[in-house]
Amino acid sequence: TLGLTKKNVTNTQVVEIKKYKAVLGIHSNTSPEAGFSDGHAWISYTNSNTKNITTYGLWPDTHPDVPNNGSKTDVRIGMEKSSGQYNRYYELTPNQRKRWKEYSNKKAEWKYTRTCASWASNAIYYVVNEDVDADDLFGFETPRELSTHIIELEKKNKTSLLRPYISNQDNSSSF
């Protein structure tokens, strides 16, 4: 025991200490054998205190599932499932949480050269300094190629939402 008795505990404020954990996930919903333009890739952010999982994905205004929001960012929040067919998770340091906030709040426009897969891949690289490569044919980045690299990384170091990868470095790269 800590030497606390009923007599001296009554005058002591007991504070429950909880470890705050934030977990960033990268996801793809298509297999490496899928077609060149198949599938979707996105990011999830989990707050362990609230147990909330928020998803972020890059969607073009021309996609039938999203409203055209004009010149606003093409990053849509809450459209995806909390996980995909292929997933990788990272526990974030306080500095990495700050970097995620910077990245997720930056305006991004969907283009053929900036897809959902490249946006998600770049997010992980910017925040935790791990390359989850999405480069496919002719330099286009696709969810199927992202799936290939998630599989490769998971073979080396399996992750889950409850057992995320913990990076020992705070990334210093920039946009």
Residue type, 110: W
Model-level pTM?
Answer: 0.84
Residue pLDDT, tens place only, 40-98: 999 999 998 878 999 999 999 999 999 888 889 999 999 999 999 999 999 999 999 99
Domain ranges of the chain: 21-166
- Identify the CA nearest to 57 among candidates 123, 112, 155, 9: 123
Cβ-based neighbours of 139, under 8 Å, separated by 6 or more: 113
Gap between the Cα atoms of 71 and 54, Å rounded = 23
